[in-house]
Amino acid sequence: MQLDQIRALVTDDLRRVDQTIVERLASDVVLVNQVSQYIIGAGGKRVRPLVVVLAAKACACQGDGHVPAAAIIEFIHTATLLHDDVVDSSDLRRGRDTANSVFGNEASVLVGDYLYSRAFQMMVDLGDMRIQQVMADATNTIAEGEVLQLMNAHDPETTEERYLQVIYRKTAKLFEAGAQVAAIVAKAPPEVERALVDYGRHLGNAFQLVDDALDYTSSAEDMGKNLGDDLAEGKPTLPLIHALCHSSLDDTARLRTAIEQGGLEDLAQVSRIIESSGGLEYTARLARREKDLATEALSRLPDSAYKQALDALAEFAVARTY
């Protein structure tokens, strides 16, 4: 099942999510509108709000609380993108110039803060303290993940365990939180809520593992960002970490230098070493394992077309090429 087919199952809900995003973005401050509309308007796969909608529907959600919940998740994700692009000095996102390259770093950081605060205003509107607790914990964990990633940058001693901590915190945690909030909004029983927490965590891990592999195998046109961004920033992601442990002494020395210095001068050579060492295959294998764990978690949900769509979404996460 393709992503468009999965979305088709909840077309009306996603349309209302988009409408809510537009309405709640509005500000009396012109620059806030310009920056937020620029990055939201860039589109993207919108996988995170899709998870919220499908998970709520899989729990037979009554009412429309899942719509603002999905918008909240997208706002927080967008805020992290604005901040990440400043930290990473990125200039391409979703196939066009990043907001910081268009409007400047100061505006990007401040509008990211605006999106965070708007998301928490919307949480208050939902009137459930558990939702606020889940999302407060999630945003704090995401911030910790970003700091951990910063600590790992340019460090060839970064271990697989440290890397996995980063991707859980900076990526999987928001998937997990979105799925849990959907269960809370739907008033799902505790065992279903726990199942969706597990599903979101494993889906997010799989999604990031594939992203990190695609940084060495895809293209800027397909990915919507510059190929080799991770290497340029000295980020030791799993394909690189695996290659460091399974390459010749000469190749290992080359990889260590590439991580320590950053840049794209050795991208072709680094990609060759990663491929020959089995780094991409290993990363894909771990992503598939996370996908299987996500599917296993779904077995605790009642059967429905929405449950099948969540399963298909996990399959898309590991099969995608963009």
Domains and CATH numbers, the chain: 3-319 (1.10.600.10)
Q: Which residues contact 151 (CB under 8 A, 6 or more apart)?
A: none
Rounded to 5°, the CA angle 106-109-113 comes to 135
What is the model's pLDDT at position 97? 85
Structure tokens at 166: 């980063």
Q: Rounded to the nearest 5°, which phi and psi values hold at 93?
A: -145, 130
Please report, to the nearest 10 degrees, the dihedral formed by the alpha carbons of residues 79, 84, 86, 89 taken in order.
Answer: -150
Q: How many CB atoms lie within 10 A of CB 250?
A: 9
What is the model's pLDDT at position 234? 93
Identify which of 14, 42, 55 has the alpha carbon closest to the alpha carbon of residue 302. Answer: 55
Please report, to the nearest 10 degrees, the dihedral formed by the alpha carbons of residues 32, 38, 42, 47 taken in order.
Answer: 0
Task: Give the bridge partners for 97, in sequence order.
Answer: 92
For residue 168, what are the CA distances in angstroms to 35, 192, 302?
28, 21, 27
What is the model's pLDDT at position 144? 96
Q: Check if the beta carbon of residue 6 is closer than 8 Å to that of residue 310.
A: no
pTM equals 0.93
Tens digit of pLDDT at every position of the chain (322 positions): 789 999 999 999 999 999 999 999 999 999 998 988 888 777 678 999 999 999 999 999 999 999 999 999 999 999 999 998 888 888 876 668 888 988 999 999 999 999 999 999 999 999 999 999 999 999 999 999 999 999 999 999 999 999 999 999 999 999 999 999 999 999 999 999 999 999 999 999 999 999 999 999 865 555 555 668 889 999 999 999 999 999 999 999 999 999 999 988 889 999 999 999 999 999 999 999 999 999 999 999 999 999 999 999 999 999 998 8
What is the model's pLDDT at position 226? 65
Please report, to the nearest 10 degrees, the dihedral formed by the alpha carbons of residues 169, 172, 173, 175 taken in order.
Answer: 160
Q: Which residues contact 68 (CB under 8 A, 6 or more apart)?
A: 20, 24, 122, 125, 126
What secondary structure, in 3-state letters, does 20-56 show? Answer: HHHHHHCCCCHHHHHHHHHHHCCCCCCHHHHHHHHHH
What is the model's pLDDT at position 220? 52
H helices of 29-128, in order, are 30-40, 47-58, 66-87, 99-103, 105-126
DSSP label of 302: P
Question: How many CA atoms, within 13 angstroms, populate the side-chain half-sphere of residue 226?
Answer: 17
